Amino acid sequence: MSDEGKTMLVTGASRGIGRRLCDLAKATGWHVIETARTPKDGMLQLDVTSAESHDALAAELNGRTIDALVLNAGIYQARGSMENPEYTAEAFTQAMLTHVAGPFFAVRAFMPNLKASTTPRVAIIASRMGSNAHAGGGSYIYRASKAAAINLASNLAKDLKAEGIAVAAYHPGWVRTDMGSAAADLGVDESAKGLLDRIDALSLVNSGSFLTYDGQAIGF
Ligand SMILES: NC(=O)c1ccc[n+]([C@@H]2O[C@H](COP(=O)([O-])OP(=O)(O)OC[C@H]3O[C@@H](n4cnc5c(N)ncnc54)[C@H](OP(=O)(O)O)[C@@H]3O)[C@@H](O)[C@H]2O)c1
């Protein structure tokens, strides 16, 4: 079924994968609600670490249907080994707020908007670095917070099935963005195109899955 004319809300639309996903989705006929913590022209304000920010945006949307909720905003602080002094309580807090509380707040706030859709979907942009099956050591905050994001996706998929809402977690690849760096092996176009295909294909049949941008299953 075509998604032309359907509505997608994207968090972290200011740059990187989220930005490109918005552009590609619009080019394929989606209406896109672009959100950012510091919105530019045409964007709506949403700081994913704040429950109040989600509630304010939900009020502004006033029941508007959301067919696909794409929870993309992310941060990657304190890389590497535990000797890195950036492993602070504040860094742990910010990552958990951004990657775990944010998606939870979004699903809770936008539940009426999702329920208004005939094909509601929630895509949580996680990371292979959050997979226990691929534990590579180091970058503890990022890995643990993305693992929690994948866990959240699994539990939301279970709970929201009765509401007809599909939920899945995705790994966008190692992508050349500010976060991924110029050394990454994938262009942002290829990643965003793959994620858009995954979002198109997300339904109750594959709800609860954890897939790469190009559709490979990843061990939890
Ligand atoms: N790039 C990779 O290789 C890679 C690999 C695996 C997973 N991922 C995941 O893919 C997603 C996108 O990554 P990216 O590479 O596009 O990163 P990026 O270029 O660093 O962009 C991050 C985006 O998240 C937004 N953001 C951060 N905190 C926010 C907040 N509190 N509220 C609203 N927006 C916030 C940023 O907004 P500002 O402009 O306001 O900072 C920016 O738009 C992230 O979840 C990341 O963890 C990326």
Nearest CA to ligand 1 atom 19: 16
Report the first-to-last Cα separation within the chain, whole angstroms. 29
The confidence score (pLDDT) of residue 1 equals 54
- Segments of the chain with pLDDT less than 50: none
Q: Write down the pTM of the prediction.
A: 0.98
Long-range contacts formed by 56-64: CB under 8 A, 24+ apart: 57/109, 58/109, 58/110, 58/112, 58/113, 61/33, 61/110, 61/113, 63/112, 63/113, 63/116, 64/7, 64/33, 64/113, 64/116
Half-sphere exposure of 96 toward its Cβ, with a 13 Å CA cutoff? 8
Counting every residue, how long is the chain?
A: 220
Query: What residue ranges line ligand 1, CB within 6 angstroms?
Result: 11-12, 14-18, 36-38, 46-49, 72-75, 98, 125, 127, 171-172, 174-175, 177-180, 184
What CATH architecture does domain 7-212 belong to? 3-Layer(aba) Sandwich (3.40)
CA of 19 to the centre of ligand 1 (A): 10
How deeply is 137 buried, as exposed, middle or buried, from its count of CB atoms within 10 A (0-12, 13-18, 19+)?
exposed
> In Å, how far are 16, 59, 64, 84, 165 from 107, measured between CA atoms?
22, 14, 14, 34, 10
**CA 180 to ligand 1 centroid distance, Å:** 9
List the Cα angle 184/190/196 in 5-degree steps.
125
Distance CA 39, CA 35 (A): 7
Cα–ligand 1 centroid distance for 75 (angstroms): 5
Residue 71 alpha carbon to ligand 1 centre in Å: 10
Q: Is 87 in contact with 140 (CB distance < 8 Å)?
A: yes
> Under DSSP, is residue 99 helix (H, G, I), strand (E, B) or coil?
helix
Q: Which of 117, 113, 120, 132 lies closest to 35, judged by CA?
A: 113
Q: One-letter amino acid identity for 138?
A: G
Mutate which of 10, 11, 17 to test ligand 1's pocket (most atoms within 8 Å of Cβ)?
A: 17
Q: Which residues sit opposite 168 in a β-bridge?
A: 123
Cα 179 to middle of ligand 1, angstroms: 7
Domain positions in the chain: 7-212
The DSSP line for 128-184 is: GGG-GGG--SS-HHHHHHHHHHHHHHHHHHHHHGGGT-EEEEEE--SBSSTTT-TT-
Closest CA to ligand 1's atom 40:
37
